[in-house]
Structure 1
Amino acid sequence: MATKVLVVDDSSFFRRRVSEIVNQDPDLEVVGVAVNGQEAVDMAAQLKPQVITMDIEMPVMDGITAVRKIMAANPTPILMFSSLTHDGAKATLDALDAGALDFLPKRFEDIASNKDDAIKLLQQRVKALGRRRLYKPRTSSTTSRVVGSSLSNAATSVKPSLSARSTTASSASQLNSASNSTSVASIRASGKKYKALLIGTSTGGPVALQKILTAFPANYPHPILLIQHMPAAFTPAFASRLNSLCKIEVKEAQTGDVLKPGCAYLAPGGMQLMVEKSGSLGRLKVIAGNADMNYKPSVDITFASASKAFGSEVMAVVLTGMGADGREGARMLKTAGSTIWAQDEASCVVYGMPQAVASAGISSLSIALENMAEAIIKETARG
């Protein structure tokens, strides 16, 4: 059965264009169009779509207010369309705060250089959200899956209240045959020494990163590198927002930044972030990178550079996101002796990137988003 989609935009041209693209895919079907936020709220209740595409600036009711009302009354995965401007970035981040799950540039030439690629990407995003069942945090303890030859390699410490879900049965069949399942209460900190925390993410990442980083204390003892798939116009606004909400410092990374404890460095959109060994902590380098790279920034590139700079002294976490970016970089980190964790399937907006490292046997734990910050702090809090 095709995924039912509601298209919301005050532009008749854009409504028609998005509807045509959605309906081109046999797995998708536009079941309604709305010209403003209030119509979107009403039609979400009437039509029960599985995905909504939403504009931000509209008459009668803007898209952010509509998202908030829909998520309160009829929770539905929502894809925002945004302009690639500073104001557009701020509005999109507000929409994500209100409950939207993903966003794309409103100009199709900003989605991809090739028209056919842009159409395919839009269809993929809508289908991915259509498969998403809106997540409710768990309150009961379950089990963690530990992949590797020993518990010490899993390198974690979690309170008994931590809910860390193992991968699904289909993924589990691909995991290392030496995998061991253990209760959360029995897991203890490895005592391992770290020099940096790295977090890579894509779809659903802004909300996930905000949830994790706002839980970190101001005296967190390590630098943090954040690699979020995001346009260049968005990363300054996102870094500023996180900095205003977090106890730690958050900034957009720049070439020459010397890593310092308790500071998170967000990879600039459209660029590649690399870390080089320099002194006791390291130094950052921001480069344009290869024009053929699918992701700018790329989790793989930052993870790979960290494996060379820090070897085994890295904690790397792969969060929600479409695709497999981060898998090969995580593989290099694991080979060097670093610790790799992944977000669990149930709490992901899209279980693509975490599944890639989990199914390849690279990650040692799959952990629910609401427990990720606690788990990271427990494992890495030693200076």
Structure 2
Amino acid sequence: MSLRRLSVVVAEDSALYRQMLLNVLQRIPGVEVVGVAADGIEALAKVVEFQPDVLTLDVQMPQLDGLGVLRELRRRGSRTKAIMVSSLTAAGAPTTVEALLEGAFDVVPKPVGVDPHVARVAIHEALVEKLAAVADTLLGPTATEGSAGPAPDRVGSRAIDAVAIGTSTGGPQALRSLIPALPADLPVPLFVVQHMPAGFTASLAARLDDLAPLRVVEAVHGMPVTAGCVHVAAGGWHLTVDRQREAVQCVLDAGPLRLGCRPSFDSLLESLVPVYGSRLMAVVLTGMGHDSLAGCRVVKAAGGFVVAQSAAGCTVYGMPKAVAAAGLADAVLPLESIPAAITACVRGRSPR
């Protein structure tokens, strides 16, 4: 895969994984490793020295851990994109999620307990995808893509009964801004699909629950759908819903990947439309790819309401761009305006 030329610093305290990352990155066209660090302090020094496009950052390192490095980079106003390389452990997952909430670009899980060749292939595939996304962000949106449009007055007196939010790269930080800004008395269920490896979404839900007035949970199979609760799709599972008489419940499905994603936002939306119809609101936030397009077509066909995040605040303007470019967005809004738009729609007002 050919990428825009990217400079990379590798920060990893394990000599084994450090060499594996170097071997993998050297095989990706257009990528140049300009520096290597074995601890957090050295990582900061290498970023200052080389000003790389990307820093691959281990979560747990001596001297200064990955989260500490990330916070210091933000304090200094660094433009380097940090990709967290994390083991899925009791300590690693919450720290990695906190790093994503703090603005890390994305995460690549370290395969554990597998053949070294299998691990290399998995890391290679993940890094090719993440680095392609970084290259896209460095090109920047066009002026037209960066503009936000007002929402037309088409909600009227019809209140929204459910809200579904889909996001990928940059999503944790966007959710950290959006979810805590929603009122505690919002009288509808909310659903979130965040593209994230299995094992990390429980930590994401727990952290958002700490921050938000609303209750935030990782959805489990058979869980009743509850008003005033944010149901976060579990990594590695498609989240859909099913109506049983008067009750709606969460359904987890380990079916095939869809557009390379599981959970799939398209699958969630397609299951919500038969239950909520025109009273469904879909919100598409920052993310790579177009897992949103097919589902929003179904939402629009049923008379539902679609909001896309404007380009200017997106880490990657992919998912919302696909929806807006297809003419499916009733409103294209900056992230900071979306909580008020959701609240207005739920209460039957135009989201102006």
TM-score bracket, shorter-length normalisation: 0.7 to 0.9
Kindly state the Cα deviation for residue 3 of structure 1 after the two structures are TM-superposed.
1.2
Structure 2 gaps, min length 5: none
Kindly state the Cα deviation for residue 5 of structure 1 after the two structures are TM-superposed.
0.9
- Of 128, 133, 140 in structure 2, the residue corresponding to residue 123 of structure 1 is 128
Rounded to whole Å, the distance in 2 between the matches of 1:67 and 1:182 is 30
- Which residue pairs with 1:89 in the alignment? 93
- Which residue pairs with 1:62 in the alignment? 65
- For 1:311-337, what per-residue CA distance to the aligned partner results, in whole angstroms no more than 9, with x for missing partners? 111000111111111211111111111
Rounded to whole Å, the distance in 2 between the matches of 1:286 and 1:69 is 39
Q: 1:113 to 1:363 in 2, by over 3 A?
A: farther
User: Given the alignment of the two structures, is residue 79 of structure 1 paired with residue 45 of structure 2, yes or no?
Assistant: no
- State whether residues 189 and 378 of structure 1, in contact with CA within 8 Å, keep that contact through their aligned partners in structure 2: no
Q: Is 112-121 or 315-324 further displaced after alignment?
A: 112-121
- State whether residues 164 and 281 of structure 2, in contact with CA within 8 Å, keep that contact through their aligned partners in structure 1: yes
- Which residue pairs with 1:151 in the alignment? none
Kindly state the Cα deviation for residue 75 of structure 1 after the two structures are TM-superposed.
3.6
Structure 1 counterpart of 2:294, one-letter code: E
- State whether residues 6 and 32 of structure 2, in contact with CA within 8 Å, keep that contact through their aligned partners in structure 1: yes
- Which residue pairs with 2:109 in the alignment? 105
- Which residue pairs with 2:197 in the alignment? 231
Structure 1 gaps, min length 5: 136-166, 173-180
Rounded to whole Å, the distance in 2 between the matches of 1:379 and 1:193 is 6
- Which residue pairs with 2:317 in the alignment? 351
Kindly state the Cα deviation for residue 168 of structure 1 after the two structures are TM-superposed.
4.0
Q: How does 1:141-156 map to 2 (within 5 A)?
A: none
Rounded to whole Å, the distance in 2 between the matches of 1:188 and 1:356 is 22
- State whether residues 165 and 192 of structure 2, in contact with CA within 8 Å, keep that contact through their aligned partners in structure 1: yes
Q: 1:4 to 1:308 in 2, by over 3 A?
A: same
CA RMSD of aligned residues (A): 2.9
Would you say how many aligned residue pairs link Structure 1 and Structure 2?
343
- State whether residues 274 and 306 of structure 1, in contact with CA within 8 Å, keep that contact through their aligned partners in structure 2: yes
- For 1:15-70, what per-residue CA distance to the aligned partner results, in whole angstroms no more than 9, with x for missing partners? 22222322322322111111111011111111111111100111111111111111
- Which residue pairs with 1:318 in the alignment? 284
- State whether residues 86 and 233 of structure 1, in contact with CA within 8 Å, keep that contact through their aligned partners in structure 2: no
- State whether residues 37 and 62 of structure 1, in contact with CA within 8 Å, keep that contact through their aligned partners in structure 2: yes
Q: TM-score by structure 1 length?
A: 0.81
Rounded to whole Å, the distance in 1 between the matches of 2:75 and 2:152 is 38
- Which residue pairs with 1:25 in the alignment? 28
Q: 1:43 to 1:291 in 2, by over 3 A?
A: closer
Rounded to whole Å, the distance in 2 between the matches of 1:9 and 1:183 is 43
Kindly state the Cα deviation for residue 250 of structure 1 after the two structures are TM-superposed.
0.8
- State whether residues 149 and 333 of structure 2, in contact with CA within 8 Å, keep that contact through their aligned partners in structure 1: no
Q: How does 1:212-251 map to 2 (within 5 A)?
A: 212-251=178-217
Q: How does 1:162-177 map to 2 (within 5 A)?
A: 168=142
Rounded to whole Å, the distance in 1 between the matches of 2:151 and 2:263 is 37
- State whether residues 77 and 130 of structure 1, in contact with CA within 8 Å, keep that contact through their aligned partners in structure 2: no
Rounded to whole Å, the distance in 2 between the matches of 1:102 and 1:373 is 24
Q: Secondary structure at the match of 1:194?
A: coil
Q: 1:382 to 1:325 in 2, by over 3 A?
A: same
Rounded to whole Å, the distance in 1 between the matches of 2:153 and 2:348 is 17
- Of 326, 334, 338 in structure 2, the residue corresponding to residue 360 of structure 1 is 326
- For 1:170-199, what per-residue CA distance to the aligned partner results, in whole angstroms no more than 9, with x for missing partners? 769xxxxxxxx9974986863332110000
- Of 218, 228, 235 in structure 2, the residue corresponding to residue 252 of structure 1 is 218
